[in-house]
Amino acid sequence: MRGLWRTLAYMAENKDGFTDQLDQKSNFVPTPLNDKLKISSQPAADGRELNLAKQPTPGILRDIDDYLRSVYPDLTLCWYELAEVNRISYEGKVLRPAHVNLKQYWNALGSVATTNRNDPVFMETVGALAIDGWTRGQMRAGGSLTRWFKVSAAQENGLKAMLTATSPAELAAVRYFDDSWQGTSCLSVASADAKWAHLNT
């Protein structure tokens, strides 16, 4: 997931129109998966909804992968991460303004973000914290980010200072999660060509 987290941070930053270019490539096409898998598109009793009627094609994911590698050659994502980047880009670009809360999160991190944006590990951390309220809470409760990320002490202290419970960055992250995930759990079904990847790696 580290490639996905890092990409999310780059989307939040939107340096040189990174996110705007990515938005031009993200898309979905209609599929018969709901019928094939006998899945109802109606919400379940607990409010969750599993609707697979729209999916990215291999070509869409390849275009996203090619674009990411053209900007950051060392950025390698598996097919599931690429599908998540596609979903995040596609759903975020319909907001007005596009990706509003994700970008506000980055801006609210201030100089700690701009100073460290060339460090891939720092960007992974920023991307993960954008969507993981539990980890942000653990950090505020005294837990160390170095349990999960190889950030420096200065980077960790800078993020802690900007992600207090009522800070603009924290509130933007909460809004971003609400925009991006419906319900309390992640519901994903993945189907891949056997030649694409080994699912046990």
pLDDT (tens digit per residue) in 27-42 = 877 766 556 666 555 5
Distance CA 105, CA 163 (A): 10
Q: What is the pLDDT of residue 199?
A: 41
Q: What is the pLDDT of residue 191?
A: 54
The two three-digit tokens of residue 150, written as one number:
């190889």
Does 193 map to a domain?
no
Q: Render pLDDT for 145-194 as a digit per residue (tens, 0 to 9).
A: 888 899 999 999 999 999 999 999 999 999 988 877 654 444 444 555 55
Reduced DSSP (H G I as helix, E B as strand, rest coil) percent helix, strand, coil of the chain, to 5: 55, 0, 40
- Asked if 112 and 162 count as a contact pair (C-beta separation under 8 A), the reply is yes
Helices assigned H by DSSP within 24-78: 33-36, 58-71
The two three-digit tokens of residue 46, written as one number:
């607990």
Mean pLDDT of the chain: 82
The two three-digit tokens of residue 71, written as one number:
């900007």
Does 194 map to a domain?
no
* 12, pLDDT greater than 80: yes
Q: What is the pLDDT of residue 174?
A: 93
Least-confidence region, from 18-27, 86-95, 138-147, 192-201:
192-201
Q: What is the pLDDT of residue 187?
A: 44
Does 189 map to a domain?
no
Does 185 map to a domain?
no
Does 186 map to a domain?
no
Question: What is the tally of structural domains in the chain?
Answer: 1
Query: Cα separations (Å) of 30 from 40, 51, 187, 192?
Result: 15, 11, 19, 17
What's the domain range around 164?
Answer: 2-40+52-180
The share of the chain scoring above pLDDT 70, in percent, equals 78
Name the residue type at position 110: G
Does 191 map to a domain?
no
Phi and psi angles of residue 74, each rounded to the nearest 5 degrees, phi first: -90, 5
Does 47 map to a domain?
no
Does 168 map to a domain?
yes
* Residues composing the chain: 201
Helices assigned H by DSSP within 47-167: 58-71, 79-92, 100-109, 111-116, 120-131, 133-140, 153-162
In sequence order, what are the residues at sequence separation of 6 or more whose Cβ sits closer than 8 angstroms to the Cβ of residue 177? Answer: 131, 133
Q: What is the pLDDT of residue 56?
A: 82
